[in-house]
Amino acid sequence: MRDLDALPKAHLHVHLESTVRPETLREIGAANGVAVPDPPSGERPFAGFRQFADHGTLVRDCLRRPEDFARVAAEFCADEAARGTRYAEVTFTAASHGERLGRPEMPLAAVLDGLAAGQAEHGIECGVILDHSRRRSVERAWATLGLARRFAADGVVAIGMAGDEAHPLAPFAEVIAAAADAGVHLVHHAGESSGAASIREAIGIGRAERLGHGIRVLDDPGLVAEVRDRAIPLEVCPSSNVALGLADSFAAHPLPALRAAGLAVTLNTDVPSVTGTTLTGEFTRVREVFGATDAELAGLARAGIDASFAPEPTKARLRGAAAAWLAAPAA
């Protein structure tokens, strides 16, 4: 079996606030005089989505100064590069932080500074996806789009709606249309906690180019065919789905069925500080639990590369590197 840390990977669904190292969070919290939440523990650390979201709020509240945001972004690059990620699109709730701190552009500008430093030091490439909770105001969604436009040249590649899928996308239709007209990519969470209807909404009103999670697509065979025929990739995060009670266990996760249906499946971590795993760890679990071959694992890596918003030269280079990994003799 080949070393999965050495497999060149693209990481497309990971929330920056859920990648903060525990020691970093403690140090930042102490510097800012903010209580730090206890680290999640166990396979299912939360009673439900609301408890998970509340934990995330406590983590975000620790981040207050430009150096806090820059540090966690630079450390994200270091940690990802150490596990073979060559390209990442990290999700960041920029407008929420800016509103909370009364400095609309500072958190994102600081994150981009940290990513620039981390990329230069660790040889990884990164883009940023700005997310917006469906529970929050349309005005903040417009602010998110404004930040995406303002910082597009600095690495912001997309915006997307996240959070509780029980809240519809319809109120954000004008923001979504404006983003599409401006050439901003659109990636929404859908088909995670809600069913096929949320996916139909995401690819209809939401104009989604990828689906964050999307595992409930299997509820509707007609939707499976549509998503497959339109080649809309899924950002699948098995360990996260188990941690939040959306799959009974890793072995019961629908990842094999999604791939068997011919869907474009990418593998991601979503919230690694909650699951305690890395992207390499996720690939390792797919190998161990589902018996995936190295060729199948390279195929998953290739799917992530293909689905990314990376420049074409980066995609070509990573495809070649993944092919070379598979061509090399196994240990």
Phi first, then psi, for residue 156 (nearest 5°) are: -75, 125
What integer pLDDT is reported at residue 132 of this predicted model?
98
**pTM of structure:** 0.96
Quick one: pLDDT at residue 55?
83
Per-residue confidence (pLDDT) for residue 41, from 0 to 100: 75
What torsion do the CA atoms of 72, 273, 137, 208 make, to the nearest 10 degrees? 100
Domains of the chain: 9-327 (3.20.20.140)
Query: If DSSP codes are grouped into helix, strand and coil, which group holds residue 177?
Result: helix
> At 131, phi and psi to the nearest 5?
-105, 160
Of 192, 201, 235, 282, the active-site residue reads 192
Closest CA to 162 of 93, 90, 59: 93
Q: Are 285 and 239 in contact (CB under 8 A)?
A: yes
pLDDT at position 8 is 98
Q: Name residues whose C-beta falls within 8 Å of residue 192's C-beta, 6 or more positions apart in sequence.
A: 165, 212, 213, 214, 215, 216, 241, 246
Q: What is the DSSP string of 248-310?
A: S-STT-SHHHHHHTT--EEE--B-HHHH---HHHHHHHHHHHH---HHHHHHHHHHHHHHS--
The pair of structure tokens assigned to 253 is 């996760």
Reading the chain (331 residues) residue by residue, the pLDDT tens digits are 899 999 999 999 999 999 999 999 999 999 999 989 888 877 788 777 778 878 888 899 999 999 999 999 999 999 999 999 999 999 999 999 999 999 999 999 999 999 999 999 999 999 999 999 999 999 999 999 999 999 999 999 999 999 989 999 999 999 999 999 999 999 999 999 899 999 999 999 999 999 999 999 999 999 999 999 999 999 999 999 999 999 999 999 999 999 999 999 999 999 999 999 999 999 999 999 999 999 999 999 999 999 999 999 999 999 999 999 999 999 7
Q: What is the DSSP string of 4-31?
A: TTSS-EEEEEEEGGG---HHHHHHHHHH
| Rounded Cα distance, 184 and 223, in Å | 25
What pLDDT shows up at residue 51? Answer: 81
> How far is the C-alpha of 185 from the C-alpha of 91, rounded, in Å?
13
Is position 312 annotated as part of the catalytic site? no
Chain-centroid distance of CA 109 in Å reads 19
Rg (CA), the chain: 19
* Element of type H or E holding 212: strand 210-213
Rounded to whole angstroms, how far apart are CA atoms 198 and 188? 10
Rounded-to-integer distance, Cα 121 and Cα 77, Å: 9
Q: Give the model's pLDDT for residue 272.
A: 96
